[in-house]
Amino acid sequence: MANKSKPKPRKLSVYLYVPNLIGYTRILLNCYAFAICFSSKRLFSALYFLSFVCDAVDGWCARKLNQASTFGAVLDMVTDRISTACLLVILSQVYSPSLVFLSLLALDISSHWLQMYSTFVAGKASHKDVKDSSSWLFKFYYGNRMFLGFCCVACEVLYITLFLLADKQNENLKDVLMSTLKQGSALSCLVGLSLFGWSIKQVVNVIQMKTAADVCVFYDMEKKQ
């Protein structure tokens, strides 16, 4: 009996995968959220966080429905990076020194862009495949879904909380953080926990950028041999 090969999905069907439809919804949510960010800070924060939650939902759907796709992975990462970048730009306008948030923006985009590019150069299926890395933190970060989720949530919660705490333009970042942490309230605990997860994520971003750059350099060296 002849082997019947599985029919290839049509181009339109990939665009209409459930995870990708969720991705389009995230884009719409973010567009509206940033349009009202200064007129309705709480609604903005709720919509922004809802979009972030949808990021986890689309990954779950991709695995359960067997609808993982390269387009979906790129759509997911681009949406994440642009969303975070826009929020960091806003924070750079309401806090001083603004260079802190602009530097975080540059680190976030460069590390993830290099990681995605090095993934294709190395012929890997996912940018989360870091088993060959020499950094235990880097491997643990991408290898443990709970830990990765905590760090990502902590980072976004910290940024949203900082935006909500800003009463006026040009707030001093250090003063706001110190006064919040000294309150000894539930908000202080939230900010402290978020700072911990945020710190780990920034360290991972630095490791990711260096590791991805090394992959690109080794690729160039092999081509010249």
Q: Look up the CATH number of domain 11-224.
A: 1.20.120
Q: Do residues 133 and 139 lie in contact, with contact meaning Cβ atoms separated by under 8 Å?
A: yes
Q: How much is the pTM?
A: 0.88
Query: What tokens does 10 get?
Result: 């049509």
List the chain domain ranges: 11-224
Question: Which residue in 20, 88, 27 sits closest to 59, CA to CA?
Answer: 20
Q: Is 80 a catalytic residue?
A: yes
Question: Tell me: the pLDDT tens digits for 137-180?
Answer: 999 999 999 999 999 999 999 999 999 999 877 889 999 999 99
Asked whether the predicted pLDDT for residue 195 surpasses 60, the reply is yes
Asked whether the predicted pLDDT for residue 51 surpasses 70, the reply is yes
Lowest average pLDDT, out of 17-21, 44-48, 83-87, 116-120, goes to: 116-120
| Helix runs in 36-144, H state only | 41-64, 70-94, 99-121, 136-143
Query: What tokens does 191 get?
Result: 């900010």
Q: Please give the pLDDT value at position 1.
A: 45
String of DSSP letters for 153-208: HHHHHHHHHHHHH--STTEEHHHHHHHHHTT-SHHHHHHHHHHHHHHHHHHHHHHH
* Rounded Cα–Cα distance for residues 27 and 174 (Å): 32
In order of 32, 59, 69, the CA distances from 102 in angstroms are 23, 29, 31
Asked whether the predicted pLDDT for residue 135 surpasses 60, the reply is yes
- Beta bridge partners, 172, equal 96
Q: Do residues 73 and 55 lie in contact, with contact meaning Cβ atoms separated by under 8 Å?
A: no
Question: Tell me: the pLDDT tens digits for 6-15?
Answer: 556 666 688 9
The amino acid present at 174, given as its one-letter code, is: K
Q: Which of 80, 108, 132, 220 is catalytic?
A: 80
Question: Tell me: the pLDDT tens digits for 203-214?
Answer: 999 999 999 999
- Whether a cis peptide bond, with omega within 30° of 0, leads into 97 is yes
For 134, which DSSP code? S
Q: Please give the pLDDT value at position 129.
A: 82
* Rounded Cα–Cα distance for residues 69 and 61 (Å): 12
Percent of the chain with pLDDT over 70: 94
Question: Tell me: the pLDDT tens digits for 82-97?
Answer: 999 999 999 999 999 9
pLDDT mean across residues, the chain: 90
Q: Please give the pLDDT value at position 20.
A: 95
